[in-house]
A and B are shown apart, each in its own frame.
Chain A
């Protein structure tokens, strides 16, 4: 069964900590995405990557960075966590040339910053 795996379901971190959220996919997809999901705000795109070592800013990149050193892995980094980054984080992937395919999502990481 193909899947997108996020390393943690729940995380609690302190303000100012550097936080790493990991995402791995086993489908050989070129594109990978990080979203955050907040009540009343829906899904908002933070960063995405369409190839190894490539990254593009999404709609809300401030306070975040990403790393894609290998095709299957896409990491989201919170350089200095703040309480307003408490959220559900969703990773997704898709193949490059098939926009009819849709995204495959991970199960999400619920991050709480205290």
Chain B
């Protein structure tokens, strides 16, 4: 079946540190891949996406590359800020007959300290 695995959290980093959150997936067909971010007390927001192999999604300094050979979509940022503290969800989307089924990973909590 389809599934998403993320690295366990919580992750604590100092401001300006390099961030990597690992994500691997299992899927049939050709899924689209996403990273969502959830700030405290809020809903999820789409952070970035990639729709085919070797695509790179980017937004707000975050990047992730769709690696079909390793079935991975790792999230990276070169220099994190306190305002990046949030929970990050990796997700994939597979096409069904009438809708797109999105499967979310368990989320990785990130805390950035000054």
Contacts and interface: CB of A to CB of B under 8 A. Distances in A.
Tell me if chain B binds chain A. Answer: yes
Interface in B58-81: none
A2 to B, nearest CB: 12
B104 A43 contact: yes
Interface string A66-110: 000000000000000000000000101010101111111111100
Q: Chain A: interface secondary structure?
A: loop
B93 A48 contact: no
Contact of A102 (B42, B46, B95): B46
Contacts of B34: 102
A64 interface: no
Given A31-B99, A42-B105, A99 B43 contact: no
Interface residues of B, number: 24
Interface residues of A, number: 24
Contacts of B41: 108
Contacts of A90: 43-44
A51 interface: yes
Contacts of B19: none
A76 to B, nearest CB: 14
A84 B45 CA distance: 26
B111 to A, nearest CB: 16
B89 A108 contact: no
Contact of A105 (B32, B43, B51, B93): B43
A30 B46 CA distance: 18
Interface of A: 4, 6, 30-31, 42-43, 48, 50-51, 90, 92, 94, 96, 98-108
Interface of B: 32, 34, 36, 41-46, 49, 51, 89, 91, 93-95, 98-100, 102, 104-107
10 contacts: A4-B43, A31-B99, A43-B44, A43-B104, A94-B100, A102-B49, A102-B91, A103-B102, A105-B44, A108-B43
Given A104-B46, A108-B42, 9 more contacts: A4-B43, A31-B99, A43-B44, A51-B98, A99-B93, A100-B51, A102-B34, A102-B36, A103-B44
